[in-house]
Amino acid sequence: MFKINFAARKYELFVLNTPSDLFHDEHDTDESVSDDFYILHRFVVDKGQDLLRIDKFLMDRIENVTRVKIQEGIDSSKVLVNDKTTKSSYKVKPGDEIVVIAFEPPRDLEIIPENIPLEIVYEDDHLAIINKKPGMVAHPGYGNYSGTLVNALAWHFQKGAPEGSIRPWLVHRIDKDTSGLMIVAKTEMAMNKLAIQFKEHTISRIYNAIVWGTFKEEEGTITGNIARSERDRKIFKVYDNPETGKHAVTHFRVLQNLTYVSLIECKLETGRTHQIRVHLKHIGHTLFNDTHYGGNKILKGVVFSKYKQFVENCFNKLPRQALHAKTLGFIHPATNEAMFFESELPSDFKTVLEKWQKLNVTYDLTSE
């Protein structure tokens, strides 16, 4: 059985087993990273503590970790002092609260199987294709101890199989509020081979999105390094400095210009965290109702109250970012067969899209 006692781990939630995992970054994921983080260590500096560099302070208190690893973690915003990022040269002061965090759950986290309905598009002995519904978190973590995709998969995989013989391996993830297709490996061999395809950018992934604003061009490519925001560690941004962040490329094609929003498709060449959301905001076309990146405000349109009511109604109908992982193509890890899957737009996305499509016919928004 996949099992963990979450109740016993409320504040100091996860402690990784090996020093090499202390500041480890998982491989990049499609639009994936939980909005929460995982607390590994917490220290409150004693009143009598002399001024001491934070990297030295942590090395003296965390077993089997090098100063270089600690410095890498600090540079990656994984060490916070009084809830703010810091530098290795910072000297700790009495009363400082120092927290070491991770943005990914530990790899060896065990899972409690839960009987949660899943839309399984395809399944064989090696992998499964899931059409994830919006609102479902991919992996258990801080604030989301149950009800996740992995909990549901653990339940599904244990049916008809020896207990604990199959575990869900998430090859990639998508955000809680993004819907659509995901690959889940059922064996370590499948996981490794699929991970190589992601690393080599041979997986085909196309998303549909509703974004603010209309386009003059029919298609384009967005290139820009992505890294965590220095001001808000929960979001990412594009950096002009080639030494900052990770290289990211998103191709887009306009499907419909709809007065003040557009329906587009995005093809990922790379798979960085929040890549589509960050790249589209960077070019002035924030995802519709993306709360993290400012798309939950009226960014385009007129000032009349009827228009405001129309948009607010759309926000209520689609209470998340308008992003759906529509297609997925890859080479099967066991058979070497080319696989391709396509999913329908979910009802909330489709409803709002239809409302924008009918906007000019149904509504007179230019009068009070």
Catalytic residues: 175
**Cα–Cα dist 253/265, whole Å:** 5
**Cα–Cα dist 76/25, whole Å:** 9
Cα 190 to Cα 113, 127, 182, 324, 336: the distances in Å are: 21, 7, 14, 25, 11
Coil, strand or helix at 232? coil
The conformation of residue 88, written as its DSSP 8-state character, comes to T
Which candidate, 7, 80, 76, places its Cα nearest to that of 40?
80
**Cα–Cα dist 20/65, whole Å:** 8
**Cα–Cα dist 102/36, whole Å:** 9
Show the DSSP H helices in the chain as ranges. 54-59, 67-75, 149-158, 188-199, 275-282, 305-317, 347-357, 359-362
**Cα–Cα dist 56/246, whole Å:** 28
**Cα–Cα dist 131/140, whole Å:** 18
